[in-house]
Amino acid sequence: MFSLFSNILNYFFINFYAQVTPAYDAASKHLSSKGIQGQDLLVFIIFGIIAGIFIIFLIFAYFRERKRPRY
């Protein structure tokens, strides 16, 4: 059972890295050769806003769940 679970995890991570690595390589090459340009900063800001909204939602959900009565 553990071996099956391990194989599934390995398969997932291998697929994940196979999809992410080319984009990561392209982004690191772009940033190392040209530095951060205007368009890149916009992308960073947009992703930062999305991440901030997600974190605020998690904190809000945590405090709402804490106040909920347990039966």
Tokens 């890295």 map to which residue? Answer: 17
pLDDT of 70 > 60? The answer is yes
pLDDT of 56 > 70? The answer is yes
Average pLDDT in the chain: 82
- Same domain, yes or no: 71 and 53: yes
Task: Tell me the residue type at 9.
Answer: L
- Same domain, yes or no: 1 and 25: yes
Answer positive or negative: Cα dihedral of 59, 60, 65, 69.
Answer: positive
Predicted local distance difference test score (pLDDT) of residue 4 = 79
- Same domain, yes or no: 48 and 64: yes
Which residues span the domain enclosing 23? 1-34
Task: Tell me the residue type at 23.
Answer: A
Confidence of residue 61 (pLDDT cuts 50, 70, 90): very high
pTM for the whole structure: 0.47
Rounded to the nearest 5 percent, the helix, strand and coil shares of the chain are 90, 0, 10
Task: Tell me the residue type at 65.
Answer: E
- Same domain, yes or no: 55 and 65: yes
As for how many domains the chain has, the answer is 2
- Same domain, yes or no: 25 and 41: no
- Same domain, yes or no: 62 and 48: yes
